[in-house]
Structures are given as structure tokens and as C-alpha cells.
Amino acid sequence: MREAEEGSAAVAARFTGGSVVGVRRLSGTLAEVALDGGGVVMVKRGDGGPGATRAEAAGLRWLGAAGTVRVPAVHGHDEEWLVTDRVPAGRPSPEAAERLGRGLAALHATGASAFGAPPPGGPREAYIGLAPMRNAEGADWPRWYAEHRVLPYVRGAVDAGTLSVAEAAVFERVCARLPDLAGPPEPPARLHGDLWNGNVLWGADGQAWLIDPAAHGGHRETDLAMLHLFGLPHLDRLLAAYQRTAPLSEGWPARIPLHQLFPLLVHAVLFGRGYAEQALAAARSAPTG
């Protein structure tokens, strides 16, 4: 085996207690490891900074503890590696999307202790993808969202030359108006936190499974706005099931761009100007009245 395969095999054996019979590399950081007896696990090497694998493991356990959505079981982790069950691949279906909609509504309703609260055992300094994400707690969503989910990434984009100072002022003006734009107050929801199409797996069991969370306490509309941003098969069926289970506050479609500022700015920091322009368009679409 190559060195990377040997590392994945050793990690899988250490955290599962099983014997490895095969390793298939899926990427530079991800491998599928077959175990004696027929089990298969995913071995992921953390590509973020310190605390990234701990944050992901804590997030998966926190989401799974709610008993509302499917997440792969965590076998173990350290500061470099994470081992979880593999989800056998299936196909998207309207029925699975509806089940996920009901499950997300129930997940969000299980709540969090505060906006920005990390999962139990999760680090304060966490990650969303490769970008740092600070889980600083707050009681007021508009202020917390501005201070910890919008403006840090605006500053990062300005420092990188992706946004100009004048463009940063567009986001600052929207943040100043968030108390008037945010809609009725809601309690902190238990969020997946990075809920785009690539983090929803359609399983062979007919269920939708969630992976790679950036879990924290937040506003439930943020998870749904991210699904709108990057698309999802049968999203209309998911949303209809969500609404039947836990109706969203009046006017929520108009607030989608506000909740998309967070993921768009994260992508601007990581991937450049194209996402910065999308974030600017979202900010400029905020109501002026």
C-alpha cells in the first residue's frame, strides 16, 4: 500500500478495532476502508486547522443525538483523523426529500443554548469547510449574525483584496439594519451549518443522510437558505414538508439573501471574486424601506 493508504488503514483499525482488508482512495484526504466481516468505514484526514476533526465529530454526534435526521456514526477521531460509517449510495427521491424536510424541522426545534453555541465537546474555534468559524455565543440573532457570521468574512475578503473598502460598506449598512430585516425573533435552532447539496447523501436505504456539518446554534432559516443557494433535488418537496411540520415566519422567502450572506462570504474568502459579487448582489437585494 502507498503511505496514505497505510495511514488510513491504521487509523481505521485503531478506531474500529477491526482488521482492514482493503483501502480505496477517494481523494487526497478521504478513503473508503473495508473491514474484515464486511463493514466499510470512511477515513477522513482533517484538511482544516487544529480542532477541525473534533468540531466535525462533535457536530455529527450532536445532530445524531436529536434523533431526527440521519448522520453516519462516528467511530473515533483525534486531532488529525476522523472515522465514520460509510453511507451506501442511492438515488434522490421525492419521498426521501420529504422525510428530510420533516427531519430538519424537528432537528431545528431541538434547539441550542445560544446563537453560536458549539456542539457539546466541540471547540469554540471551529471551521466551515477550510474557513475558520468562531463559535462565540450571543442572545440576539441580528447582532450575533452580524458580528460573528458576516463581518469577520467581510474583513477577511478585504484583507485578501477580494472586496474593496467601499464594497465592505455595503455589508456594514445591511448589518446595521438587521434588527429591522430579520423578521420575528426565534429561539436558537440546532443547525447543520453547512447544508449544501454536497453534504446531503442519498442513501441506498431510501433516506437522506447529512455529513460534514459546521454545527452550531443559529437561525433555522440559515440552513434552508443554504439549500436554496446551491440547490438540492426535490427541494420544493422538502420545503413543503418542512412547512407542514414547523411553518416558517411570514416573509421568509424575502430573507433568504440575508441568510445567504454567510456562506457566500465564506466562499468569497476561500474561492475569490465570483462569490464576492454574489454576496454583494445578495446584500444589495435587502429591502430599503
pLDDT above 50 (res 133): yes
Closest CA to 256 of 233, 271, 235, 272: 235
Identify whether 147 is part of a domain.
Answer: yes
Identify whether 45 is part of a domain.
Answer: no
Has 159 been annotated as catalytic?
no
Domain that holds residue 226: 87-289
Structural domains of the chain, count: 1
Q: CATH no. for residue 251?
A: 3.90.1200.10
Which cell is 190 given?
Answer: 440546532
CB-based contact 99:106 (threshold 8 Å): no
Q: pLDDT digit string (tens) for 192-228?
A: 999 999 999 999 999 999 999 999 999 999 999 999 9
* The predicted structure's pLDDT at residue 1: 46
Annotated active-site residue in 194, 205, 212, 236: 194
* The predicted structure's pLDDT at residue 6: 66
C-alpha Rg value of the chain to the nearest Å: 19
Identify whether 18 is part of a domain.
Answer: no
Q: pLDDT digit string (tens) for 34-45?
A: 999 889 999 999
Which cell is 229 given?
Answer: 443557494
Identify whether 46 is part of a domain.
Answer: no
* The predicted structure's pLDDT at residue 235: 98
Identify whether 98 is part of a domain.
Answer: yes
Identify whether 154 is part of a domain.
Answer: yes
Identify whether 68 is part of a domain.
Answer: no
In the chain, which residue ranges form alpha helices assigned H by DSSP? Answer: 3-16, 52-65, 94-110, 141-145, 151-159, 165-176, 178-181, 220-230, 235-245, 252-271, 273-284
Please give the C-alpha separations between residue 13 and each of 22, 46, 87, in angstroms, as whole numbers. 11, 18, 19
Identify whether 106 is part of a domain.
Answer: yes
Q: What is the mean pLDDT of residues 125-133?
A: 94
